[in-house]
Amino acid sequence: MRYAEAGYNLEVDLSRGSIERVETDPKLTELHLGGLGTNSKLLWDRVPPEVEPFSPDNLLIFSTGLLVGTPAVGANRTIVSTISPQTLFMAYSMMGGFWAAELKHAGYDKVIIRGKSPDLVYLWINNDKVEIRDASHLQGKGALETADLITAELNDPKAQVAAIGLAGENKVYFASIEQGRSSASRQGIGAVMGSKGLKAIAVRGTKDVFVARPAEFIELCNDVLKYIRFREENPIPGVMPILAGLGSPQEMAVYDEKWHTASFAWGNARVRRRNFWTEEIEEKWTNEQKEAVERLISCYNCPLECGAVIDYPVLGISKYMMKCFSKLTYTMAALTDSLSFGFDIAGRAQEYGIDGFSAPQVMAFAVELKEAGILTDEDFKGCPSDKEGRFYWLLERIVRREGIGDILANGTYWAAKQIGNGAEEFAHNNIKKHEQVPIKLGMLNPIYYLMYSTGEKINITQIEGQFPQAPFPTRKEREDFVKDWFQVPDEKFKEYFVNWEPRGEYSMPYYPGIEACCEIVDWMERMHYIDDSLGVCAGLSSFPLKPPYHIHNYPKFVSAGTGIDIDEEGLTKIANRNRNLTRAVNIRRGMRRADEKPPENHWRRRFPELEKELLDAYYKFKGWNKEGIPTKEYLHELDLAYVSEDFERRGILKNEQS
């Protein structure tokens, strides 16, 4: 009897048109849990470093997390993993919504796609019945529209559909996979889906998912719900509204955007508009948002309502669902004062299926190149001259790969290389070739320096977490904050925070000290790796301040849910194993220390000496050598001897050096 997991994967070869239901090895669950952990294992075992992202040999894995399908609140993540066309490293992007639970109930933990279909197809998984179906009539259709058409043609409104839009079909390097209110949008996994000729996966499941120790498990769930209620009634005092509560940033419910508009950079991640947020703007934006948002909506089995149905008929777009920060990314990148514009273009972009972080930055990058004379009038022939019009025009070009859009569709890094003529200078906000949240700040933050440099998700919002981003102004406030901070893995974290001053001796960049920074980053990261293998939304765990899931209750959830008895130490070891296996996939693909750096201009005040020390110390702390490669000893400790053997065979680790 398998608990929490289905115990089966679905293996689909689109070249041969074959479908297999394959039982999985329970040992792998003990070693890696599920989700990201077992995805990394599959990519390590089956996708050697020579395999190109668009090769039929690349795998595209849709995985549920281990706790998805149990009553664990907010355990609803689909973890999609593949090799990214943009970074050429492992991409893993998560989506919430309803798809993962449906897959688990259909009797599968993962869908593993390989090969390439000659014609556009979609996959229909209905419990034990699985078919590859023709999708030629869906070619060019929007992602949401596709979901609608598929559920209508299957006559099953309860089927959950994950689909790509035109951008994915055209292999835009930042194409997303969309699923109603959620999307897996980073690093171009939608393009990999397009390269396989797969338009969508529809799934419907009506089977039971079991837990090992029911009474214990449900009590843990009830405690989580109780704590969520408590946190809803007691927002964290003294922080901006979006940090006070739980969930993904509550962008759909919060109107106050003073902090984002003042602290994030506008345009091509260049300008700060510190005084943008006036009373007049506040009133205008609040009205626009109220007009646009029809209802706040949640993901499967989660009360947090981080998304919204957007109904804004004056814009002439159809209804869609929005979540999180895409509300602001287009408006800020286009340097307009109109929030309606943001709602409008985000809706169109979602039908095309592109990433709401990368896409606006690519557009702003193009506009800057045009202003600098590096892109020409010829490149922009037919483009309107107003800020918003230009963005709409660029959107249409990019998703169709028309004209200049064909180059821009490869993202800023590759586009700059192709354009040449100094364009590289303008692709300035990337880490490992991937566009980042546009933040440009003054003083180096040593904690964020490490997170940016070493995070394997290559996306800061998926590394950072529950340690506050900055010290609170007074010691009293900090002391109050730590009073009921039971989520810390160790009391020392409270001390680090209480002593952390905005100015003076105990301030950044030298405080928290190097060792403390390593410990803090390690804690943040550990929680993300646990979430991503269990399929629990970061919005209830690793991301917000004082979350309901933490290192003390997670081992109990895993034990009662799966029957695999595990304690904090054991769970930490699995998180480290998964973290290192994910890294190993990238190391084998050539990732080294030189790749591990934040954008040059992320902070105005940089400290090269200190940064070097930080990175050295963190590598050592993590059991990695000076190049950031996990050492033989450490890999053995993590039961990953096969990785170190492979590294030695390839000369990545020298025998004597390890």
Partner 1 sequence: MSKAKKTVKVITIDIEKCNGCRACEVICSSYHAEPKYSSNNPARSRIRVIRDPLKNIFLPVYAGEYTPAECMGRNKYIIDGREYSECDFCRASCPSRDAFKEPDSGLPLKCDMCEDDPTLEEPLCVQWCLADALVYEEREEEAEEEPKQEDMEIGLRALADKYGLKELVSAVARMAQKE
Which of 74, 471 has the CB closer to ligand SF4? 74
Closest by CA to 82, choosing from 70, 90, 94, is 90
Query: What dihedral angle (degrees, nearest 10) is formed by the CA atoms of 636, 638, 643, 647?
Result: -60
Stretch that binds partner 1, among 201-209, 263-271, 357-365, 531-539 (CB under 8 A): 201-209
Which secondary-structure segment (H or E) carries 284? helix 279-292
Nearest distance from residue 247's CB to partner 1, in Å? 12
Which of 325, 619 has the CB closer to ligand SF4? 325
Environment class of 39 (CB within 10 Å of its CB; exposed 0-12, middle 13-18, buried 19+): buried
Q: Which of 137, 295, 552, 604 binds partner 1 (CB under 8 A)?
A: 295
Write each residue from 572 to 601 as x if it is in contact with partner 1 (CB under 8 A), else as -, in one continuous string.
------------------------------
Contact between 96 and ligand SF4 (CB under 6 A)? yes
Q: Which of 139, 206, 474, 657 binds partner 1 (CB under 8 A)?
A: 206
Stretch that binds partner 1, among 5-13, 40-48, 209-217, 586-594 (CB under 8 A): 209-217
Contact between 217 and partner 1 (CB under 8 A)? yes
> What is the rounded distance in angstroms from the CA atom of residue 279 to the CA atom of residue 70?
46
Angle between helices 554-562 and 214-233 (to 10 degrees): 150
Stretch that binds partner 1, among 213-221, 435-443, 489-497, 507-515 (CB under 8 A): 213-221
Q: Return the SS3 of 177.
A: strand
Contact between 95 and partner 1 (CB under 8 A)? no
- Residue pair 170/64 in contact (Cβ under 8 Å)? The answer is no
First CA to last CA across the chain, in angstroms? 41
User: How do 129-134 and 8-13 pair as beta strands?
Assistant: unpaired
Partner interacting with residue 295 (select from ligand SF4, partner 1, none; CB below 5-8 Å by kind):
partner 1
Partner interacting with residue 637 (select from ligand SF4, partner 1, none; CB below 5-8 Å by kind):
none
> What is the rounded distance in angstroms from the CA atom of residue 572 to the CA atom of residue 85?
31
> What is the rounded distance in angstroms from the CA atom of residue 416 to the CA atom of residue 408?
8
Contact between 466 and ligand SF4 (CB under 6 A)? no
Query: What dihedral angle (degrees, nearest 10) is formed by the CA atoms of 16, 17, 23, 24?
Result: 70
Residue whose token pair is 């300008």: 271
Which of 184, 643 has the CB closer to ligand SF4? 184
Which of 213, 370 has the CB closer to partner 1? 213
Closest by CA to 44, choosing from 654, 655, 638, 514, is 638
Partner interacting with residue 164 (select from ligand SF4, partner 1, none; CB below 5-8 Å by kind):
none
Partner interacting with residue 232 (select from partner 1, ligand SF4, none; CB below 5-8 Å by kind):
partner 1
> What is the rounded distance in angstroms from the CA atom of residue 399 to the CA atom of residue 415?
15
Beta bridge partners of 62: 80, 111
Sign of CA dihedral 510, 513, 515, 518: negative
- Residue pair 91/188 in contact (Cβ under 8 Å)? The answer is yes
Stretch that binds partner 1, among 223-231, 418-426, 434-442, 502-510 (CB under 8 A): 223-231
Nearest distance from residue 529's CB to ligand SF4, in Å? 17
Whether cis (ω within 30° of 0) applies to the bond prior to 555 is: no
Distance from the Cα of residue 505 to its chain's centroid:
35
> What is the rounded distance in angstroms from the CA atom of residue 392 to the CA atom of residue 346?
10
Nearest distance from residue 218's CB to partner 1, in Å? 4
Residues 232-291 that bind partner 1 (CB under 8 A): 232
Write each residue from 527 to 556 as x if it is in contact with ligand SF4 (CB under 6 A), else as -, in one continuous string.
----------x-xx----------------
Q: Which of 161, 228, 409, 415 binds partner 1 (CB under 8 A)?
A: 228
Distance from the Cα of residue 235 to its chain's centroid:
25
Nearest distance from residue 152's CB to ligand SF4, in Å? 23
- Binding residues for ligand SF4, rule CB under 6 A, total 14
Q: Which of 299, 359, 447, 551 binds ligand SF4 (CB under 6 A)?
A: 299
Nearest distance from residue 398's CB to partner 1, in Å? 25
> What is the rounded distance in angstroms from the CA atom of residue 100 to the CA atom of residue 125?
12
Partner interacting with residue 603 (select from partner 1, ligand SF4, none; CB below 5-8 Å by kind):
none
> What is the rounded distance in angstroms from the CA atom of residue 76 to the CA atom of residue 275?
39
Write each residue from 126 to 145 as x if it is in contact with partner 1 (CB under 8 A), else as -, in one continuous string.
------------------x-
Contact between 300 and partner 1 (CB under 8 A)? yes
Q: Which of 39, 298, 466, 658 binds ligand SF4 (CB under 6 A)?
A: 298
Beta bridge partners of 18: 13
Q: Helical H runs in 68-188?
A: 99-106, 143-154, 166-169
Which of 560, 638 has the CB closer to partner 1? 560
- Residue pair 16/35 in contact (Cβ under 8 Å)? The answer is no
Binding residues for ligand SF4, rule: CB under 6 A, are: 74, 76, 96, 247-248, 298-299, 302, 304-306, 537, 539-540
Binding residues for partner 1, rule: CB under 8 A, are: 69-71, 73, 98, 101, 105, 144, 148, 157, 180-181, 205-211, 214-215, 217-218, 225, 228-229, 232, 294-303, 305, 309, 311, 318-321
